[in-house]
């Protein structure tokens, strides 16, 4: 029996926004590409585009050999879990697409495998080429067989709650297409190279995520709406390792030793913390090691407000608030009930960054904060789309370094270092 591999991807620029899919079929034995396609589909969401890519790939495979066994490889965890029957398809707009994909081959001939985005580069290239005005057409394929009476396993009531074993605060989101590189010189011509001496000294933000708490360990949402909890024993050790790392690191060497390149006397280290108990405890350990008497507490550096999701696991949120969670994953304007949208979070955290830089221009500032604020600043520094915050994962007690220059240039000098 013929064995085929389908690689499929879909995405939109804006989510929702201009969307496309890419798909190809390989011979399983040789890896040879037998057919490929990339098409635009108007304005829609990432999830719809992912399903459209799967449908296109399965149709290509069916045209090659309707009796083949097929392994469909996608970088969308959502589509893989739903089509495998482990997640219930709750979004009404996705059910017809799942049904359309399921009916292309008889039951049992298709299996679904999640792959990292890096291993789905060929399909990603096809969809981005299509969005850039270079679609790839496929040969005409015969109509798929008539649909079965019901969706079957893809609408099973039981979800496999794999999120319980994911790292703390990891979100199962679908990677979107890479943003195209800037083509117009004027878009980047005003920025100097970061190694240019004309830029002058940067203001350096050393972002430290607080150490582990019982809620971190339990993998529940722990936001900025409550002062607690405190660090647990593991979190205390993480705070001590972060403090020791900072005391011995080059980034604070000039401040601590008085050997700044400018020749000026060294200023005292600066430590800023969000008002949450876990960040203040972490900051206290760091300040003690650095010899800092006072910690500046800034409530704008608090964690994202999760509202009704506070204290719940991702699995529990998926069960109780499926529509709200889907919206939060799909658009930056949606917020948890009683919580903050990503747009609100971006505004608050970039404002906190700008105020900190204005107050401590040219200095190195240790900011003890939370997972989501660090994600926001890393994403903003890289000029990545806001949805990218759901694909970043700073660990408890980790250190991230961002340098900001007077002309607006910023660099991500280090991310998620784990002492």
What's the CATH number where 212 sits?
A: 3.40.50.1240
Does residue 184 lie within any of the structural domains? no
Mean pLDDT of the chain: 81
* More confident position, 143 or 13: 13
Handedness of CA 100, 53, 9, 21 (dihedral sign): negative
Give how many domains the chain has, as a whole number: 2
* More confident position, 283 or 408: 283
Pairing outcome for strands 203-209 and 399-404: antiparallel
Given pLDDT bands bounded at 50, 70 and 90, which one contains residue 109?
very high
Are 145 and 223 found together in one domain? no
Per-residue pLDDT of 160-178, as tens digits, reads: 222 222 333 333 333 333 3
Domain that holds residue 300: 192-417
Per-residue pLDDT of 356-414, as tens digits, reads: 998 998 899 999 999 999 999 999 888 887 778 888 999 999 999 999 987 677 899 99
Q: What percent of the chain has pLDDT over 90?
A: 52
Q: Could you tell me the CATH number of the domain that includes residue 130? A: 3.30.420.10
Least confident of 28-37, 82-91, 104-113, 250-259: 250-259
Mean pLDDT on 296-324 = 92
Residue 383 falls in the annotated catalytic set: no
Does residue 365 lie within any of the structural domains? yes
Find the catalytic residue in 303, 305, 310, 324: 303
Are 148 and 217 found together in one domain? no
Nearest CA to 330 out of 171, 211, 181 is that of 171
Are 277 and 375 found together in one domain? yes
Does residue 173 lie within any of the structural domains? no
Whether the predicted pLDDT of 19 surpasses 70: yes
Are 267 and 358 found together in one domain? yes
Per-residue pLDDT at 198: 56
Does residue 183 lie within any of the structural domains? no
* Domain stops at, among 149, 165, 181: 165
Q: What percent of the chain has pLDDT over 70?
A: 81
Per-residue pLDDT at 254: 55
* More confident position, 202 or 184: 202
Residue 210 falls in the annotated catalytic set: yes
Are 157 and 200 found together in one domain? no
User: Within 10 Å of residue 159's Cβ, how many Cβ atoms?
Assistant: 17
Per-residue pLDDT at 190: 40
Does residue 41 lie within any of the structural domains? yes
Question: Is the peptide bond between 229 and the residue preceding it cis, with omega within 30 degrees of 0?
Answer: yes
Per-residue pLDDT at 302: 94
Are 307 and 399 found together in one domain? yes
Per-residue pLDDT at 123: 96
Does residue 187 lie within any of the structural domains? no
Per-residue pLDDT of 197-242, as tens digits, reads: 556 788 999 999 999 999 999 999 988 877 888 999 999 999 999 9
Are 147 and 284 found together in one domain? no
Are 274 and 137 found together in one domain? no
Nearest CA to 332 out of 269, 252, 389, 414 is that of 389
Residue 380 to residue 409: CA distance in whole angstroms? 11
Residue 339 to residue 367: CA distance in whole angstroms? 23
Question: Is the peptide bond between 16 and the residue preceding it cis, with omega within 30 degrees of 0?
Answer: yes
Pairing outcome for strands 399-404 and 17-27: unpaired
Please state whether the predicted TM-score (pTM) of the whole model is above 0.75: no
Does residue 84 lie within any of the structural domains? yes
Are 364 and 327 found together in one domain? yes
Given pLDDT bands bounded at 50, 70 and 90, which one contains residue 81?
confident
375 assigned to a ligand binding site: no
Whether the predicted pLDDT of 15 surpasses 80: no
Residue 360, SS3 per DSSP: coil
Does residue 293 lie within any of the structural domains? yes
* Domain stops at, among 165, 180, 209: 165
Are 203 and 325 found together in one domain? yes
Find the catalytic residue in 62, 91, 210, 370: 210
Per-residue pLDDT at 309: 93
Per-residue pLDDT at 169: 34
Are 144 and 197 found together in one domain? no
């Amino acid at each position: 029996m013929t064995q085929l591999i389908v690689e499929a991807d879909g995405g939109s620029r804006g989510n929702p926004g201009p969307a496309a899919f890419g798909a190809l079929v390989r011979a399983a034995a040789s890896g040879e590409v037998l057919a490929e396609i990339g098409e635009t589909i108007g304005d829609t969401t990432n999830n719809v585009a992912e399903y459209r890519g799967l449908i296109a790939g399965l149709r290509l495979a069916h045209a090659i050999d309707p009796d083949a066994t097929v392994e469909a490889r996608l970088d969308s965890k959502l589509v893989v879990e739903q089509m495998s029957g482990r997640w219930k398809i709750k979004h009404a707009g996705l059910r017809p697409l799942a049904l359309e994909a399921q009916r292309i081959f008889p039951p049992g001939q298709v299996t679904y495998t999640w792959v990292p985005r890096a291993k789905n580069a060929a399909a990603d290239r096809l969809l981005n080429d299509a969005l850039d005005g270079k679609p790839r057409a496929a040969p005409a394929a015969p109509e798929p067989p008539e649909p079965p009476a019901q969706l079957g396993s893809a609408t099973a009531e039981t979800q496999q709650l794999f999120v319980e074993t994911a790292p703390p605060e990891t979100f199962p989101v679908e990677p979107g297409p890479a943003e195209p590189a800037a083509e117009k010189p004027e878009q980047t011509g005003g920025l100097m190279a970061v190694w240019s001496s004309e830029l002058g000294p940067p203001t350096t933000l050393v972002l430290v995520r607080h150490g582990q708490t019982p809620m971190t360990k339990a993998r529940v949402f722990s936001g900025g709406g409550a002062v607690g909890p405190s660090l647990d024993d593991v979190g205390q050790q993480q705070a001590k390792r972060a403090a020791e790392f900072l005391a011995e690191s080059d980034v604070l060497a000039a401040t601590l030793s008085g050997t700044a390149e400018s020749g000026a006397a060294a200023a005292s280290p600066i430590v800023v913390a969000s008002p949450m108990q876990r960040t203040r405890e972490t900051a206290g350990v760091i300040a003690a090691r650095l010899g800092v008497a006072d910690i500046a507490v800034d409530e704008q550096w608090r964690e994202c407000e999760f509202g009704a999701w506070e204290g719940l696991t991702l699995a529990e949120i998926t069960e109780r608030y499926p529509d709200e969670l889907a919206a939060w994953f799909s658009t930056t304007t949606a917020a948890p009930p009683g919580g903050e949208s990503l747009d609100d979070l971006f505004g608050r955290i970039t404002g906190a960054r700008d105020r900190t830089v204005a107050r401590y221009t040219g200095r190195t500032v240790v900011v003890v904060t939370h997972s989501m604020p660090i994600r926001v600043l890393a994403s903003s520094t890289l000029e990545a789309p806001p949805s990218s915050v759901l694909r970043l994962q700073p660990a408890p007690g980790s250190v991230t370094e961002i340098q900001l220059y007077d002309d607006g240039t910023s660099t991500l000098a280090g991310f998620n270092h784990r002492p």
